[in-house]
Amino acid sequence: MPHRSNAGAALLIMVAVLVIMGGCASPEELARRQGEAFVQTQQAAIGQTAESLRLTAEAAIKDAIPDVQLPQLPGQPGQPAASRPQFSRLPVASPEWYGGFGANDFARDNWRKYYTQLGGLHNGTDFGADVGTPVYAGLYGIYTGPSTDATKPGSVAISVGGFRVTFGHVVPDTNLKLNQEVSPDTLLGTVGDHPSGDHLHISIREGSRYHNALLFFEPGLINQSEWGGYTPPAGPLSIHSFIPMSTDKANYWGEKNIELLDLKGAP
């Protein structure tokens, strides 16, 4: 049985080599090898724990916030009769930075100040722009006055079908008339002053939930990778399409029984 004898011979040679190698190693070298093996074992254990925690957290979030499919666009994008918002141009030219939707790092650090009714999550998308920068509608819709979703120093609400698009931290243009139709090039106002950095906040609300506004821009308008600013971490919420308004006082960041505040003032 040549295979068995060959295997046996190979095993003997391997053992001999190991014995010789072990015999040649100094006590320091043996200690170093043992140390390295110990560290590798510990690192593997830590990695497994972190991965299992991450998977558990992702599963919990997915259960709490089910994803949804957005309705299909009727006809051509950007037509006045659209039943959902569709941005065909950026509301501010050349935004300087981008603030992501949901669990971004600004929301993590400031949820007590701004996002307690939103489960600690950012309900919109921010576009960094200097005070005075013109703000255009970017889409077709109906001007319905100021919005309660973001008020300071002013705001503009545009109604599109069952959606309310809020242009937050905006000084409204004085020519706007209630219930007038707006088109992508309609001037809505200018970027106002904001303590956490001047920017335009856009949120898209449907009933009691906020959609990720980036999903309503035509392809090619948004290139997040070119902008700095606060962004969502890699994870399930960064790809979720909406967040619900919190009703159970639970918080994404892990604190319970938070105070519910009025939405006014949410960035």
Task: Report the interface residues with Zn ion, using CB under 5 A.
Answer: 124, 126, 201, 267
Q: Nearest distance from residue 230's CB to Zn ion, in Å? A: 10
User: Which residue has its beta carbon closest to Zn ion?
Assistant: 201
Nearer to Zn ion, 124 or 141 (CB): 124
> Nearest approach, Cβ of 253 to Zn ion (angstroms)?
17
Encoding tokens for residue 74? 């009727």
Kind and range of the H or E run holding 201 = strand 199-206
Torsion angle of the four alpha carbons 157, 159, 160, 166, in this order, in degrees rounded to the nearest 10: 20
Give Cα 54 to chain centroid, integer Å: 17
**What gap in Å lies between CA 38 and CA 49, rounded to an integer?**
17
For the chain, how many helices (H) and strands (E)? 4, 12
Of 182 and 213, the one with the shorter C-beta distance to Zn ion is 213
Tell me which amino acid residue 52 is. Answer: S
Q: How far is the CB of 228 from Zn ion (least distance, A)?
A: 15
Name the residue nearer to Zn ion (CB basis): 126 or 258: 126
Question: CB-wise, 77 or 197, nearer to Zn ion?
Answer: 197
CB of 42 to Zn ion, least distance (A): 42
User: Do β-strands 187-191 and 181-182 pair in parallel, antiparallel, or remain unpaired?
Assistant: unpaired
> Least distance in Å: CB of 38 to Zn ion?
48
Stretch (H or E) spanning 55:
helix 27-64
* Nearer CB in complex with Zn ion: 155/186: 155
Q: Least distance to Zn ion from the beta carbon of 69, Å? A: 25
Question: Of how many residues is the chain composed?
Answer: 267
Residue 266 makes CB contacts below 8 A (sequence gap 6+) with 114, 115, 117, 118, 123, 149, 150
The residue (of 119 and 124) whose beta carbon lies closer to Zn ion is 124
Which of 159, 154, 118 lies closest to 244, judged by CA? Answer: 118
